[in-house]
Structure 1
Amino acid sequence: MSQTNVASYAETRNQDMQAYFLGLISVAAFAMTLPAAKMLAGDLSALQVGFFRSVIAAFAAIPFLLIGRAKRPNRSQVKRMLLTSTGIVYGFPILTALGMQYVPVSHGGVVLAALPLSTAIFGTLITGTRPSRAFWVVSALGFLTVLAYTVIKSKVSDIYVGDLALLGAVVLAGFGYAQGGALSKELPGWQVMCWTLVISLPVLLPVSLYLFDANTLGHLPTQGVAALLFLALVNSLLGFFSWNRALALGGIQRISQLQLLQPFFTFGFSIWLMGEAWNWLTPVVCAIVIVLVWLSKRI
């Protein structure tokens, strides 16, 4: 192997390692979405949770753009950012908050296991890249494994509004993730998220003011305030800095498979923070999914 090929291989390997590392950080952060939303379920409506977290994140994004001297996106990029916002500024935050009013955190986390497949499908449609047939087989196996886990662990009474809301969140988030990942090949990932939030302010701000209830927010417990700030500053802003970068470096389809691990992070958080019950089936299924994620990386 020539020195040029060796250097190219090393660079590709380092890029892949960076992409997977950043992706795992983001997945761990995103896994806290449902526990945090569950903490707010009894105090704020789904619309309040969704809009408040996004408007706080939008104002927090402004200093990043100013300090980083970010260039304004062009007209084409703004249009795609508006499309991105439908999934990750509005749809996912509102629908996950709605879902958490009806189903347990651990159940909701497993429903969100469809996110990798949704992201991969939209990534293929948006970027035009065509992963191998083996990739789709492995992705489908990962999804079916987690789906089987859901059926085993769920009760019929859990299904209805909660699951429908979470499935809607899966579709919209997959679309938003793919759009953001594609844009991150043109702009730094942190700029994509910051601009997406900021250009949404003309909608976010008036709706948030309409939904604002001083009495409700004034009596929000400390735990609820912490949950809302986490959703705003980490899940709606900082988490996407590393996620968009990971998608751009490693490819939308491949990196999206890391989200198959998200239900198990969520399960761990549900036990630690929400006091939900431990079971041995979850780590076994998690081990299977990890193997499938590894296989999707290799093919």
Structure 2
Amino acid sequence: MRETPDRSGPWLLAGITLFWGLNFVTIKYSVEEVPIWTFRTICLLTGGFGLLGIAKALGLSLRVPRAEWRPLVIAAIGNITGWHIFSAWGLQYVPASRGTILAYTMPLFAAVISVLWLRQKMTGLIMTALASGLVALAILLVPIRDEIVAHPFGPMLMLLAAAFWAFGTVALKRYRFTVPTAVLAGWQMLVGGIPVFIGWALIDIDFDPRPISHVAWMAVAYSAIVPMIFCHWAWFRIVAIYPAAVAAIGTLAIPVVSVIAAALLKDEPIGLSEILSLGLVLTSLALVLIVPALKNRTAPLPEPE
């Protein structure tokens, strides 16, 4: 009998596309006034304890088997430590929309790591989708290529964040976890956040919150609650449902949402290149999500033995 596939993946991808796309703009608002270490500490503590609190309220055990702690730490270094430090740091030097584009080169890193670490086969469909998505990102980067060459520090930080996130994504596929998704995500935030908490204690311990504007605090609240709790839970579910490379390609629509949101909220420019990029991203998503689903739907049922 054919197993019933988990059909929540596309809906979860739609959710993280919208909310993470908006989050890059709110991060930009946040780090303009709130120090990086303070901002990330608030987000990780809110997300970690929030997810574990929800899991506890649902009657789930918060215990992680001893054998799963090492893989959890390895995944957390990529998904939480590297990603959160370098992305927030990089957004201090690049516009929100362009920073998002650079960060979402993650699928390229994930595809390479998947082949090297998981020995995962790269099908023609996945490679075509990856190429389409990366061309979409390249189109958005062309107008600022001179700026990137002249001031490479911020872009390099965003690419480093992308590489760490890709490593963490593949690590989630490499190791087998038996704990519920909310518990896995919550512990990763708290464990992966330890270097961030130490950084806050050493660097931002004298932070004075009084001069911070209401707009910045609202941006911090959004980033700490919606992306950290819902989006991280949804992302770990997506990685469980799809191969690492396919899950990574599924994130390519996020920078398009970020570009549009930045245009609306921060008056950053939008034009033909953004529209063309959106079309290519939608093509890549269709190749890895819709086409395989249609093939599975039309495939004949196996003959009973």
Smaller-chain TM-score range? Answer: 0.7 to 0.9
Partner of 1:291: 283
Partner of 1:61: 51
The structure-2 alpha-carbon separation of the partners of 1:289 and 1:206, relative to structure 1 and needing over 3 Å to count, comes to closer
Among 142, 157, 171, which residue is 2:147 paired with? 157
Among 262, 265, 274, which residue is 1:273 paired with? 265
Residue 216 of structure 1: SS of its match in structure 2?
Answer: coil
Q: Tell me whether 260-269 or 81-90 shows the greater mean CA deviation.
A: 81-90
Alignment of 1:33-48 (within 5 A): 33-48=23-38
Among 102, 110, 120, which residue is 1:119 paired with? 110
Please report how far the alpha carbon of residue 52 of structure 1 lies from its aligned counterpart in structure 2 after TM superposition. 3.3
1:135 aligned onto 2:120: no
Partner of 2:184: 192
- Once residues 216 and 206 of structure 2 are traced to their aligned partners in structure 1, the CA distance between those partners, rounded to angstroms, is 15
- 1:211-265 Cα distance to aligned partner (Å, 9 max, x none): 4456532222112112222222222332111111122123322222111111111
The structure-2 alpha-carbon separation of the partners of 1:168 and 1:284, relative to structure 1 and needing over 3 Å to count, comes to same
TM-score by length of 1: 0.85
Partner of 1:180: 172
Please report how far the alpha carbon of residue 44 of structure 1 lies from its aligned counterpart in structure 2 after TM superposition. 2.6
User: How many pairs does the alignment contain?
Assistant: 288
| One-letter amino acid of the counterpart of residue 56, structure 2 | L
Q: Tell me whether 53-62 or 265-274 shows the greater mean CA deviation.
A: 53-62
Structure 2 contact 105–162 (Cα < 8 Å) conserved? yes
Please report how far the alpha carbon of residue 202 of structure 1 lies from its aligned counterpart in structure 2 after TM superposition. 5.1
More helix, by proportion: 1
Structure 1 contact 181–252 (Cα < 8 Å) conserved? yes
Structure 1 contact 33–231 (Cα < 8 Å) conserved? yes
Residue 27 of structure 1: SS of its match in structure 2?
Answer: helix
Residue 45 of structure 2: SS of its match in structure 1?
Answer: helix
CA RMSD of aligned residues (A): 2.5
- 1:31-50 Cα distance to aligned partner (Å, 9 max, x none): 23321221123223333333
1:244 aligned onto 2:225: no
The structure-2 alpha-carbon separation of the partners of 1:91 and 1:200, relative to structure 1 and needing over 3 Å to count, comes to closer
What's the % identity of the aligned pairs?
Answer: 15
Please report how far the alpha carbon of residue 71 of structure 1 lies from its aligned counterpart in structure 2 after TM superposition. 4.4
Structure 1 contact 50–93 (Cα < 8 Å) conserved? yes
- Once residues 15 and 246 of structure 2 are traced to their aligned partners in structure 1, the CA distance between those partners, rounded to angstroms, is 16
Structure 2 contact 52–182 (Cα < 8 Å) conserved? no
Please report how far the alpha carbon of residue 267 of structure 1 lies from its aligned counterpart in structure 2 after TM superposition. 0.8
Partner of 1:82: 73
1:107 aligned onto 2:98: yes
- Once residues 111 and 67 of structure 2 are traced to their aligned partners in structure 1, the CA distance between those partners, rounded to angstroms, is 23
Partner of 2:299: none
- Once residues 160 and 193 of structure 1 are traced to their aligned partners in structure 2, the CA distance between those partners, rounded to angstroms, is 32
| One-letter amino acid of the counterpart of residue 36, structure 1 | T
| One-letter amino acid of the counterpart of residue 253, structure 1 | A
- Once residues 216 and 160 of structure 2 are traced to their aligned partners in structure 1, the CA distance between those partners, rounded to angstroms, is 25
Unpaired stretches in structure 2, ≥5 consecutive residues: 293-305
Unpaired stretches in structure 1, ≥5 consecutive residues: none
Partner of 1:218: 210
Structure 1 contact 51–94 (Cα < 8 Å) conserved? no
Among 66, 82, 94, which residue is 1:91 paired with? 82
TM-score by length of 2: 0.83
Partner of 1:145: 136
| One-letter amino acid of the counterpart of residue 179, structure 2 | L
Please report how far the alpha carbon of residue 28 of structure 1 lies from its aligned counterpart in structure 2 after TM superposition. 2.1
- 1:170-202 Cα distance to aligned partner (Å, 9 max, x none): 001111223235557633322210121233465
| One-letter amino acid of the counterpart of residue 51, structure 2 | A
The structure-2 alpha-carbon separation of the partners of 1:76 and 1:140, relative to structure 1 and needing over 3 Å to count, comes to farther
- Once residues 15 and 198 of structure 2 are traced to their aligned partners in structure 1, the CA distance between those partners, rounded to angstroms, is 33
The structure-2 alpha-carbon separation of the partners of 1:202 and 1:115, relative to structure 1 and needing over 3 Å to count, comes to closer
- Once residues 55 and 202 of structure 2 are traced to their aligned partners in structure 1, the CA distance between those partners, rounded to angstroms, is 27
Alignment of 1:222-237 (within 5 A): 222-237=214-229
